[in-house]
Amino acid sequence: MKSITIKGSQRESVGKAATKALRNAGQVPCVLYGGDNVLHFAAPDLAFKSIVYTPNVYTATIELEGKTYSAILQDIQFDPVTDKILHIDFYQLHENKEITIEVPIQITGTSPGVMAGGVLRVVNRKLKVKALPSKLPDFVNVDISGMEMGQKFYVTKLQQDDYKVMHPDNTVVCQVRISRAAMKAAQEAAKAEKGGKKK
């Protein structure tokens, strides 16, 4: 999984006045959990542009006082009026410790069912996966090459060599639905066939 570097500075004071002053200066107050100690830090709001305003999922490399920490974004608070970032929680990653994270799916292949007039409906655009940090995927590949009209793609069909999908086996990722036009054509074909047999 790709990583975004965030350069920040540790916060000594975490009171309301200090936090407000940070925000007024264009800084975002942050907390890093999961290590030996909870770390409070701040970074310019522009530093979070690539990790927050994107459909993709990235890990974060946080640089503080000459030290680097690998982490994932765990929680984020926005101002309900201005949509500005108010606060971010990060969770520290450890090489030998598995982590559960939501990653987007990526549809590949061409479905015969879609080619025949069916409609692809994506039910789950993101899936929870569990893996070691070094094995976290950028996305989960969903190959729809064999999908006929009316078929569903379940999580059990996904390759799970480096990571484990944390959903029940009956979870549908996507399905090829029969379009109204295809249904109408099938009904008309059936009627025509019946009419031909009566003769």
The pLDDT confidence band at residue 56, using thresholds 50, 70 and 90, is confident
190 vs 143, more confident: 143
With respect to CATH, is domain 101-185 assigned 3.40.50.1860? no
Single-letter amino acid code for the residue at 159:
Q
The whole-angstrom separation of Cα 173 and Cα 184 is 27
Please report the pLDDT score of residue 185 as a whole number: 67
Where in the chain are the domains? 2-93, 101-185
Q: Burial-class residue 89 by CB neighbours within 10 Å (0-12, 13-18, 19+).
A: middle
- 195 pLDDT tier (thresholds 50, 70, 90): low
Q: CA 39, CA 190: separation in Å to the nearest integer? A: 68
CATH class for the domain made up of 2-93? mainly beta
> How far is Cα 37 from Cα 4, in angstroms, rounded to an integer?
22
Separation of CA 20 from chain center: 31
Percent of the chain residues topping a pLDDT of 70: 92
